[in-house]
Amino acid sequence: MAVDPRWPVALVRGAVPVALGLLLWVAMAGGEQERQQTLKAQPGADAASLSQRRRHNELIMAALREAAQTDDNVAQRRVPWQK
């Protein structure tokens, strides 16, 4: 049983892109911890800002939920509207 001489070439051509992808993945994953530290050091990452942002998101979701449950046009409400 003879081995076709094109097989080694096909294997190399298939392995090169996989190896390059693996090397790029390793290079990018190596900086993940540094990226996490940078994100933690950004302004707005403290507990007070996060809780304020969470409360704001809750208010928005409540308004969207109310708008979805009513047939009224909530965008056209009068000024003394409360969240």
What pLDDT, on a 0 to 100 scale, did the predictor assign at position 61? 93
* Statement: residue 37 has pLDDT above 90: no
Residue 78's pLDDT is 67
What's the rounded mean pLDDT across residues 30-41?
81
Q: Return the higher-pLDDT residue of 27 and 1.
A: 27
Buried b (16+ CB within 10 A) or exposed e, 11-32: eeeeeeeeeeeeeeeeeeeeee
Torsion of CA 51, 53, 58, 60, to 10 degrees: 160
Q: Which two tokens stand for residue 3?
A: 């081995």
Confidence (pLDDT) at 21: 94
In this structure, what token pair is assigned to residue 40? 């933690």
